[in-house]
Structure 1
Amino acid sequence: MLRTRSTAAAFVAAALGGLVLMPAPSQAAAGSVHLYKIYYDSPGTDRRSNASLNAEYVQIRNTTSGAVSLKGWTLTDASNHKYVFGTFTLGKGKTVTVRTGKGTNTATNRYQGRAAYVWNNDKDTATLKKASGARADTCSYNSTKADYKMC
């Protein structure tokens, strides 16, 4: 009898241990809003033309199961150049490109409206924060051998 109880207790403990280690389906499929790509060295000579400024950008991707409001979220570099999202919702599975220069905001492109470059051509760090101030993601690069970084 004692042997049966011990075996049963060991079986229950092992079964519960296995359940504790397995992530819940909602956690595994939750996804995130994260930095996807930084194109930090726009093509050609850096002459601060609007076309050149807009060829420098950061892409943010939503891999969650629903749309996410980015209102109040911030994107900053290591020197604290800050872009703050106004009213904007990033759809499920969608990517938005935040360009440095000027332009008309759309569902796929947002513009910082700057007249100077933000992202250093050799090294920098992008930080994406939620409206609450909590960090959502960071992505750093340290290279002059490429023009962009996949995060």
Structure 2
Amino acid sequence: MSASLSVTARRLAAAVLTAGALAGAAAASASADNGTRLHRAQVEISDVQHSLGHDNRSNRSLNMEWVDVTNTSHRSVNLDGWTLSDEDGRTYTFRHYRLEGRSTVRVHTGVGRDSGTDLYQDRRTSVWDRHSDTATLANDHGRIIDTASWGNDRHAPSRGNDRHAPSWSNDRRGHDEREGRLEGRESRHEGR
């Protein structure tokens, strides 16, 4: 009797250990899966206003040229080291800036005092070409997060990831009354 009791006890112990291991693995997997899906940050270029006219050197005019960067998630994102650049390679680097969840920061071209909602590139000349250009937002590892393009005669080769491609032309499609601001853009985001 003791031999059959010993075999049964071993089988029961093995079944309990296996069930416990499976339950633990399932719980760990569910926990990791929820953390990734629920808290993934999404940052995008939400609006652009390029140069409005011939006056592209006064600070007032330069600060009317801007790019809005929006965090659509609920969690804040550290933008330290992220970059915003144009087709000609002019680049603004975010320094010590955290974009709160569900908020937008406006990056102006001209000189100004940085705040929680407005940042300034401190440039003395216009960055964004009014006829055609592409604004590119990249993270601190150089990965392209989003782009916004305008104009029919873009001179840069297609990057395959132009997220916003309104057809700006002289017939004012895609412009608002101030001319130069993207409006009603189609948006699609990769890598999220």
Asked if Structure 1 and Structure 2 have the same fold, meaning a TM-score greater than 0.5 normalized by the shorter chain, the answer is: yes
Give the letter for the 1:41 counterpart.
Answer: S
How is 1:22-61 mapped onto 2 (pairs within 5 angstroms)? 27=37, 30=40, 32-42=42-52, 45-61=54-70
Residue 5 of structure 1: aligned partner: none
Question: Which has the larger share of strand?
Answer: 1
Which residue pairs with 1:133 in the alignment? 142
Matched ranges for 1:70-85 at <5 A: 70-85=79-94
Query: When the two structures are superposed, what TM-score results if normalisation uses the length of structure 1?
Result: 0.77
Gaps in structure 2 of 5+ consecutive residues: 1-33, 152-167, 186-192
Matches within 5 A, 1:1-151: 27=37, 30=40, 32-42=42-52, 45-142=54-151, 143-144=168-169, 145=172, 146=175, 147-150=180-183
Q: Secondary structure at the match of 1:149?
A: coil
Residue 39 of structure 1, CA deviation = 0.3
| Higher Cα Rg, which structure | 2
The separation in 2 between residues aligned to 1:67 and 1:109, in whole angstroms, is: 16
What displacement does 1:48 show? 1.3
CA shift digits 1:62-81 (9 cap, x unpaired): 01120000000000000011
CA-atom RMSD in angstroms: 1.9
1:113 partner amino acid: D
Q: Of the two structures, which has the highest relative contact order with CA contacts closer than 8 Å and spacing of 6 or more?
A: 1
Give TM-score scaled by structure 2 length.
Answer: 0.61
Q: Would you identify which runs of 4 or more consecutive aligned residues in structure 1 move more than 6 Å?
A: none
Identity of aligned residues (%): 35
After TM superposition, give the deviation of residue 26 of structure 1 in Å.
5.8
Question: Does the C-alpha gap of structure 1 residues 139 and 28 become closer, same or farther in structure 2, counting only changes over 3 Å?
Answer: farther
Q: Deviation per CA, 1:13-44, whole angstroms, max 9, x where unpaired?
A: xxxxxxxxxxx7964774510000010133x5
